[in-house]
Amino acid sequence: MWSHLAFYVPMIALPLIGYGMLSVADYPVIVFGVQLPSLLPHSNSLHSMLWNAHRFLALCFFVLIVVHLAASLIHALIRRDGVFEAMAWRRR
15-48 pLDDT, tens digit per residue, is 999 999 999 999 999 999 999 999 899 999 999 9
First to last CA, the chain: 27
Q: What is the pLDDT of residue 91?
A: 54
Query: In this model, does residue 3 exceed pLDDT 70?
Result: yes
Provide the residue type at 9 as one letter. V
What is each CA distance from 7 to 10, 44, 76, 86, in whole angstroms? 6, 30, 21, 20
Q: Is the dihedral of CA 16, 22, 25, 26 positive or negative?
A: negative
